Amino acid sequence: MATLRDPERGCAWDQVQTLETLAPYTLEEAYEVVDAIERGDLADLQGELGDLLLQVVFQARVAEEAGSFAFDDVVRTICDKLIRRHPHVFEADGSPLADGPERLSLAQLDANWTASKAAERSEKTGRSEHAGGDLLGSVAKALPALTRAEKISRNAARHGFDWPDAASVIAKIREEVDEVADALGRDDPDHLAEEIGDLLFAVVNLARHSGIDPEYSLKRGNIKFERRFHAMAALIAEDGASLDEADLSAMEAAWQRVKRSKA
């Protein structure tokens, strides 16, 4: 990467990249890693992980040229963080605990991890979450909206602001659906967008209370829709028509046939 960035010996494209221009590629590569995992393609995963690692190396090199930090600093930082957040496994110097790891429940581990993150944020900002800091844990704004909504609501729940159970969230969803229906009758697109956002946020909380990752759930829903849509088109073609020629009633009939077939 140092050679690729070299003003005289390097590549013209690599030379002009900045942290800002590289950011979209980092997101894209992360999604491609997830895609390879979900497809169970380990050979492809190997390559995608390399592409993602390239982004780390590339950005570290840009930062090093600016005199900020280098790749070794990135590795050292994450090693220090792993040691700090696993006091039940490591001594402060990074060596394994002499008597072996302390056995904690998953709930205890999650609580300790959360407390450690909060302490790190307080140290970084110089103020605690309860004294003017970020009460919701500084959830990254670049996250997909569904994932960010889940994290925000989970952090709010840690402060006791939450529905008692999934059934209570269902009631909230019905309330939000009614508000969306009311907004549809107005000539106010901004208000409608806000109400639909409230509905989506409530659905995310239903997923959280049910132990479901909303982003993963919607991905599965997308895949199911695509599969059924193509199966519907195939059924219509079998009847001697094309999708563009079929009316809505014919498409709905074919769609119900696909659903009954468990496709």
Does the structure show a pLDDT above 60 at 133?
no
pLDDT tens-digit series, residues 208-252: 999 999 998 998 999 999 999 999 999 999 989 898 999 999 999
Mean pLDDT, residues 28-40 taken together: 92
Give pLDDT tens digits for 43-60. Answer: 999 999 999 999 999 999
Between 137 and 47, whose confidence is greater? 47
pLDDT at residue number 228: 96
Predicted structure pTM score: 0.67
d(CA 136, CA 145): 15
CA dihedral 159, 160, 164, 166 (to 10 degrees): -10
Domain boundaries, the chain: 214-260
